[in-house]
Structure 1
Amino acid sequence: MIFAKELGDTLRGALTDDQRVVLLGEDIADPYGGAFKVTRGLSTAFPARVRTTPISEGAIAGVSAGLALAGYRPIAEVMFGDFLTLMFDQVVNHITKYQTMYADQATCPVIIRAATGGHRGYGPTHSQSLEKHFLGVPHLRVVAASLYHDPRVVFADFLRRDEPVLYVEHKLLYPQHLTLPVNGMVGDLIATSSGMLPTVRLSAVPREDCTVSVLAYGYQAHLAAKIVERLAIEEEIFAELIVPAQIAPMDWAPVLSSVTATRSLVTVEEGAGGWSWGAEAASVVSRELFGTLRRPVDVVASEPTIIPSSKAKESAVLVGSAQIEAAIRRAS
């Protein structure tokens, strides 16, 4: 189950099941089928409801808002998440405000899909993880794709609600195989989950034997899972990995439950460090469990600088396996 194909099949299912669903985005029509081929075949099957747009993210957001207000369920693709900045005004000042401004007499359930992240040598304006700029926007849900969350379940949740949502899809997830929990396991890791958009917890041993909690989402969760498994097998360093689907607003209960047991937390994200998701996690956990923690929360994020085009230099800026492993070792 390749993530990009499963996501494309999810969108196909949504278009089939609900005539209100409309897909908009740049170059999403056949034969191109989108920059990462997620929408390949959809415009042929649904020519009236899968539409390629001009190169204007502001226009995509505005048209999506109008469609949503008119009763449609628009899904807007942002080819590169860097260009979410061109939608920011529409999202923050319009899409997220309509329902409250008009006393629930209007809803604007726009779903925005954005390909984010680096490690592909795409340079300063095509490699960023900008989701932290949308965290804390009232009435906006921010959800991160991962290999441990079924996109069908995720989009069923989106389409069941009347709320706008930003769905961030790290580019390096597209060619990966989904590793959904099967019989309580993901590979050699014990898997448990809770909630409709589940927070998945992975560990090699029961929680009470773990010495550190690791909180990560998206592609960084995939990297962290590999490290958690290897350290457990090779060195008996045991960590519990917590992978939320929804990263804002956050359900902190699974995190607090884990850290209560391990008394140590590492957060991981690919966005630039400072004023970040990890910083918010550190604030919440420190406030709730200050007397329990063995050490300060370790917030792992990318360097706060421009992402280079050179892959070697890019690797030095962006969070990768080495930084995650070092943090786990420090916190264990």
Structure 2
Amino acid sequence: MTARVADALNAALGTLLAEDPTLYLLGEDITDPYGGAFKVTRGLSTRFPDRVLGTPISESAIVGVANGLALAGDKAIVEIMFADFALLAFDQIVNVAAKSTAMFGRPVPMPLIVRCPTGGNRGYGPTHSQSPQKHFLGVPGLDVHELSPFHSPLPALRSMLGSGRPAVLFEDKVLYGRPLGVPRLFALREDTVVIDGAPCDDYLIVAPGGLAHRALEAMETLLRRYELCGALHVPTRLYPWDPAPVLRHPARRILVVDDGPPGASWATEVAYRLRDCGRPVRVLHAADTVVPTAAHLERSVLVQAATIVGALR
């Protein structure tokens, strides 16, 4: 039986805690029996009661404690209950964690990950459904990642902690209940998903992990209805972003998809980089409005498979 993304993430956190006695996991309501708002941390506080710690409701304080642990030579992973609330810790992430690697006269490692459940399509309303990734882009010393549903999270988490740079990891909430891996009809080649056994150069979709399954649904529609065969590139690091895998692809059309609203977004940053390299590219965003609670209105605001099909056609 294929593991769910949430189960794989839970197992990865447990493995890291077992391997490294200097690693701490902090967050609101992450201890048993609750195990976190999305149950990603269930069982971990029972196994590691001294290092999996529930905290008061203060995102700035949680990340501040994690910064202190990292500066003192330990490691920390923080769970922010909803990505929307990471903005309450913006100063600790941007002005403390990111700057601490370079402001003490010598390189200082900051092994810190701030995990942020992000995105909509769950009916949680305007303040619990945003995709605020763009607010953390372009900060010197800060890496921005997004969880991929196609890869085990353990190597990615190990890489973040070992990089010496603080990282913000966005995890789309709709992925938690999905199986880890690539569904049938598709094949994975490193960070790019193609339609198995077909030449796939009509288009290339570039989208982070939270949009992956909507992009795959769009790809299947484009193949069956319009005989268009393309590929999907899912970067796990949003910033700094590496354009090399996209530039190697021979696609005649490139569509960059972003579940956040337009304006200084990750998609526009990627499109700028690609246009600077002479590649034809178009961007697709969510609507420029708050995310509604009602399901039919929420679907109309956020990017859906049909939106991607329309943009590519």
TM-score (norm 2): 0.95
CA distance, structure 2, for counterparts of residue 105 and residue 235 of structure 1: 54
Deviates more, 1:271-280 or 1:224-233: 224-233
User: Which deviates more from structure 2 when the two are superposed, residues 266-275 or residues 25-34?
Assistant: 266-275
Residue 230 of structure 1, CA deviation: 3.7
Tell me if 1:188 matches 2:158. Answer: no
Aligned mates of 1:190, 1:308 — CA distance in 2: 35
More displaced, 308-317 or 58-67? 308-317
Q: What is the match of residue 183 of structure 1?
A: none
Q: State the 1:105 CA deviation.
A: 4.6
Q: Secondary structure at 1:271's aligned position in 2?
A: coil
Contact residue 210 and residue 240 of structure 1 kept, 8 A: yes
Q: Which residue of 2 aligns with 1:138?
A: 140
Residue 203 of structure 1 and its aligned partner are, at CA, apart by 3.5
2:220 maps to 1:218: no
Runs in 1 of length 4+ with deviation above 6 angstroms?
Answer: none
1:138 offset after TM fit, Å?
1.0
CA distance in 1, matches of 2:159, 2:17: 15
Give the whole-Å Cα distance in 2 for the aligned partners of 1:132 and 1:205: 36
**Quick check: 2:79–2:116 contact (8 Å CA) kept in 1?**
yes
Offset, 1:187: 2.1
Identity percentage over the alignment? 42
Distance in structure 2 (CA, Å) of the matches to 1:309 and 1:275: 25
Q: Is the 8 A contact 1:203 1:241 kept in 2?
A: no
- The alignment covers a number of residue pairs equal to 311
Letter in 2 for 1:200: T
CA offsets 1:121-176 (integer angstroms, 9 cap, x no match) = 11111000001111111111111112112111111212222110111000000000
SS state at 1:270 partner? coil
CA RMSD between the two structures: 1.5
Asked if 1 retains the 8 angstrom alpha-carbon contact of 2:112 and 2:161, the reply is no
- Is the Cα contact below 8 Å between 1:81 and 1:130 reproduced in 2? yes
Q: Which consecutive residues of structure 2, in runs of 5 or more, have no partner in the other structure?
A: none
Per-residue CA distance 1:172-213 (angstroms, 9 max, x = gap): 000000015xxxxx52223211xxxxx334234555x52111
Aligned counterparts of 2:88 and 2:19: Cα–Cα separation in 1: 31
Deviation at 1:82, TM superposition (A): 0.1
Structure 1, gaps ≥5 residues long:
181-185, 194-198
Structure 2: how far apart are the matches of 1:309 and 1:118? 9
Tell whether 2:276 aligns with 1:274. no
Counterpart residue identity of residue 237, structure 1: L
Provide the residue aligned with 1:203 in structure 2: 195
**Post-superposition shift, 1:50?**
0.4
